[in-house]
């Protein structure tokens, strides 16, 4: 084993002077630096699968909304969730082992630590997004998997959520909780069947234009939409996934959310709904321009609110005792939190940034809605919830329909991870059923004007936080200065934290008016600059 490991790893030597870290979104950086990392992720996936009795582990090669020259890699655990946090440090140790001999020491250390029987089977599936560097990184990954004798299957080009779906299907096949057929056709069928069930009484197709960020989500959503042509009229723009140099360029969910503006390639018709995916289609934001050409963003907070409102109503109609809650991060607009708590009377939890935190918190509700403001999120239906719905004794047609609709939503909404395609269908289903225009959705509450800024500092690690990242602990005294500044503004809120994916500190601010928020964010950026 170690011989073949040494031989293979010599082909994938680690560059010196780089420190790798498995962060919020796995390893992510310039693709040219990732060959050894991806190879070693193959080794870790083999260990993880053997540790979990041969369950299938997923690996996704993507850098999401990053520029075309970047790439990244992340692991998917058996139920389709992100890699368990305690294993992230093992990924980091493997990636940072200097020499081949060091690598074998770390690898064998993990084998011993977890008493892993290397004679057992290891199973891995992987996919990549549409980046140019994808195929070469896949070759490195395959070497890693061969080096540790893992069985593997290459799923080709998929969206990140499709790979998560496949992993869960493979690990639940033949069980009572089978998640579906582990193929792309299986994924499309699951979503389209659920959509047709939910919209069985609707006759008008909903029309939407999607900016696919020139990524892999474009061809996938176009394929799915063919099956739904009676219910959905989809136009895909920025759909050049075969021109990887255009990926995320002046388009995509991150561009639209951060800049609060239209992507290139979109010439809006007044009050018509648009959406943008990110490069690997695990995020979505919606938007439209009104008759006065004012741009309205419908971000993750608006999606969460819409879903919570609609599912809350369905629970009431179903007369089943289920609790519903919403999970957000500090980046959620204050108006959305207020609306969910005060108007919808639902509990809201706040967690640190990163979907794994939100996902985990959402599991405590029977139905947990979680979204980051940037459009990454989903709705989780707990096993108890599904069982209660299936066992419910419906006495009226209204109750029956509500129960069937809730169950269909649990099939429509990806239960493993935020999914742009699944979230798109969820939103369009709700808008269709409510017969709502995009303006009606936009006006359920009005966002407080907000700004997100980035400050490059010498060492972002000195910025540590508490209270779900809403308060700085260090540098000492800095939070006090921010609080003093915030006090000067109406409805002001601002917080500062180190990014987990970029070498920068992020500053968020919101206020009662645009003028104030521009002023506040500028002042907090100054405070941060002066502190480091
Ligand atoms: C403000 C913001 O949008 N932060 C993003 C960003 O994290 P940072 O730790 O802020 O760099 O990337 C994460 C991974 O994609 C995503 O989960 C998160 O929401
Ligand atoms: Mg993404």
Q: pLDDT of 366-379, one tens digit each?
A: 999 999 999 999 99
Is residue 293 marked as binding?
no
Ligand 1 centroid–CA 205 distance in Å is 34
Say if residue 108's pLDDT is above 80.
yes
The pLDDT of residue 25 is 86
Annotation marks residue 49 as catalytic: no
SS3 57: strand
Instruction: Find out whether the peptide bond into 435 is cis, omega within 30 degrees of 0.
Output: no
Residue bearing the CA closest to ligand 1, atom 17: 354
Asked if the 186-297 domain carries CATH number 3.40.120.10, the reply is yes
> What is the mean pLDDT of the segment spanning 153-166?
98
Is residue 440 marked as binding?
no
> Among 36, 49, 64, 432, which one carries the catalytic annotation?
64
Any atom of ligand 1 within 6 Å of the Cβ of 72: no
**Of ligand 1's atoms, which has the minimum distance to the CA of residue 504?**
11
Distance (Å, whole) CA 34 – CA 27? 8
State pLDDT tens for residues 225-257: 999 999 999 999 999 999 999 999 999 999 999
The pLDDT of residue 304 is 98
Which residues sit with Cβ closer than 5 angstroms to ligand 2, an ion?
64, 278, 280, 282
User: DSSP labels for 452-491?
Assistant: EEEE--S-GGG-EEETTTTEEEESTTHHHHHHHHHTTSTT
When pLDDT is cut at 50, 70 and 90, the band that residue 317 belongs to is: very high
> Where is pLDDT greater, at 138 or 205?
138
Q: First-to-last CA distance in the chain?
A: 49
The stretches of 16-99 forming alpha helices (DSSP H) are 35-51, 88-96
Say if residue 500's pLDDT is above 60.
yes
Say if residue 1's pLDDT is above 70.
no
Any atom of ligand 1 within 6 Å of the Cβ of 162: no
**Of ligand 1's atoms, which has the minimum distance to the CA of residue 372?**
19
State pLDDT tens for residues 445-454: 999 999 999 9
The pLDDT of residue 2 is 60
Distance between alpha carbon 362 and the CA centroid of its chain, in Å?
14
Give the domain ranges of the chain. Answer: 2-157, 186-297, 300-424+436-442, 450-531
State pLDDT tens for residues 44-91: 999 999 999 999 999 999 999 999 999 999 999 999 999 999 999 999
- Return the CATH fold of 300-424+436-442: Alpha-D-Glucose-1,6-Bisphosphate; Chain A, domain 3 (3.40.120)
For domain 2-157, the CATH superfamily is Alpha-D-Glucose-1,6-Bisphosphate, subunit A, domain 3 (3.40.120.10)
Ligand 1 centroid–CA 497 distance in Å is 11
- Residues with Cβ within 8 Å of 404's Cβ and at least 6 positions away in sequence, in order, are 197
Any atom of ligand 1 within 6 Å of the Cβ of 300: no
The stretches of 368-469 forming alpha helices (DSSP H) are 383-391, 397-412, 420-434, 438-442
> What is the mean pLDDT of the segment spanning 319-326?
98
When pLDDT is cut at 50, 70 and 90, the band that residue 202 belongs to is: confident
The answer to whether 281 and 289 are in contact (CB under 8 A) is no
Tokens of residue 479, six digits: 């939070």
Looking at the CA of 300, name the nearest ligand. Answer: 1
**Of ligand 1's atoms, which has the minimum distance to the CA of residue 254?**
3
Is residue 372 marked as binding?
yes
**Of ligand 1's atoms, which has the minimum distance to the CA of residue 329?**
19
When pLDDT is cut at 50, 70 and 90, the band that residue 182 belongs to is: very high
Distance (Å, whole) CA 357 – CA 328? 10
State pLDDT tens for residues 380-419: 999 999 999 999 998 999 999 999 999 999 999 999 999 9
Query: Which of these, 322, 271, 331, 281, lies nearest to 304 by C-alpha position?
Result: 331
Say if residue 420's pLDDT is above 60.
yes
The percentage of residues in the chain with a pLDDT greater than 70, rounded to a whole number, is 99
Q: Answer yes or no: same fold for 2-157 and 450-531.
A: no
The pLDDT of residue 310 is 98
Cα dihedral across residues 423, 426, 430, 435: positive or negative: positive
Any atom of ligand 1 within 6 Å of the Cβ of 354: yes
Distance between alpha carbon 427 and the CA centroid of its chain, in Å?
16
Say if residue 523's pLDDT is above 80.
yes
Say if residue 509's pLDDT is above 70.
yes
The answer to whether 68 and 32 are in contact (CB under 8 A) is no
Is residue 64 marked as binding?
yes
Place of tokens 């560059």: 15
- Return the CATH fold of 450-531: TATA-Binding Protein (3.30.310)
When pLDDT is cut at 50, 70 and 90, the band that residue 532 belongs to is: confident
The pLDDT of residue 4 is 87
Distance (Å, whole) CA 510 – CA 441? 21
Distance (Å, whole) CA 474 – CA 462? 6
Residue bearing the CA closest to ligand 1, atom 10: 499
What b/e string do you get for 149-173 counting C-beta neighbours within 10 Å, with b at 16 or more? ebebeebebbbbbbbbbbbbbbbbe
Any atom of ligand 1 within 6 Å of the Cβ of 453: no
User: DSSP labels for 82-126?
Assistant: BPPGGGHHHHHHHHH--SHHHHHHHHHHHHHHTT--TTS--EEEE
Output the average pLDDT for the chain.
96
Is residue 72 marked as binding?
no
Looking at the CA of 159, name the nearest ligand. Answer: 2
């Amino acid at each position: 084993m170690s011989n073949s490991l040494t031989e293979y790893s010599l082909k994938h030597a680690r560059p010196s002077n780089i420190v790798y870290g498995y962060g919020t979104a796995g390893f992510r950086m310039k693709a040219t630096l990732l060959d050894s990392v991806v190879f070693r992720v193959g080794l870790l996936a083999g260990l993880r699968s053997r540790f979990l009795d041969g369950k299938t582990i997923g690996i996704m090669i993507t850098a999401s909304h990053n520029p075309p020259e970047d790439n990244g890699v992340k692991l998917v655990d058996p139920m389709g969730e992100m890699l368990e946090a305690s294993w992230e440090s093992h990924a980091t140790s493997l990636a940072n082992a200097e020499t081949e001999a060091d690598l074998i020491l770390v690898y064998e250390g993990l084998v011993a630590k977890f008493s892993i029987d290397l004679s057992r089977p290891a199973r891995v599936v992987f996919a990549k997004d549409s980046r140019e560097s994808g195929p070469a990184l896949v070759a490195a990954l395959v070497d890693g998997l061969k080096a540790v004798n893992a069985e593997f299957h290459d799923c080709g080009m998929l969206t990140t959520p499709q790979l998560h779906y496949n992993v869960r299907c493979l690990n639940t096949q033949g069980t009572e909780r089978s998640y579906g057929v582990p193929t792309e056709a299986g994924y499309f069928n699951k979503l389209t069947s659920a959509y047709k069930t939910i919209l069985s009484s609707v006759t008008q197709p909903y029309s939407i234009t999607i900016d696919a960020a020139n990524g892999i989500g474009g061809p996938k959503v176009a394929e799915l939409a063919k099956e739904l042509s009676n219910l959905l009229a989809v136009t895909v723009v920025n759909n050049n996934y075969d021109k990887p140099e255009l990926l995320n360029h002046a388009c995509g969910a991150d561009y639209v959310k951060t800049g609060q503006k239209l992507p290139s390639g979109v010439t809006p018709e007044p009050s018509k709904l648009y959406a943008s995916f990110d490069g690997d289609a695990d995020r979505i934001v919606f938007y439209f321009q009104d008759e006065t050409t004012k741009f309205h963003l419908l971000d993750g907070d608006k999606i969460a609110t819409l879903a919570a409102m609609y599912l809350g109503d369905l629970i009431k109609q179903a007369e089943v005792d289920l609790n519903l809650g919403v999970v957000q991060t500090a980046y959620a607009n204050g108006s959305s939190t207020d609306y969910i708590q005060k108007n919808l009377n639902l509990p809201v939890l706040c967690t640190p940034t990163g979907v794994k935190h939100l996902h985990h918190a959402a599991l405590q509700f029977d139905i947990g809605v979680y979204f980051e403001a940037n459009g990454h999120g989903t709705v989780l239906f707990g096993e108890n919830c599904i069982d209660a719905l299936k066992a419910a004794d419906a006495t009226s047609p209204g109750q029956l329909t509500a129960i069937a609709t809730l169950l269909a939503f649990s099939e429509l909404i990806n239960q493993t991870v935020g999914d742009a395609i699944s979230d798109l269908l969820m939103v369009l289903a709700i808008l269709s059923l409510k017969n709502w225009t995009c303006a009606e959705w936009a006006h359920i509450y009005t966002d407080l004007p907000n700004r997100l800024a980035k400050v490059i500092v010498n060492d972002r690690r000195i910025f540590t936080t508490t209270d779900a990242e809403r308060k700085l602990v260090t540098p000492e005294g800095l939070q006090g200065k921010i609080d003093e500044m915030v006090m000067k503004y109406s409805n002001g809120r601002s917080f500062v934290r180190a990014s987990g994916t970029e070498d920068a500190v992020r500053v968020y601010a919101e206020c009662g008016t645009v003028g104030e928020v521009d002023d506040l964010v500028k002042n907090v950026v100054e405070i941060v600059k002066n502190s480091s």
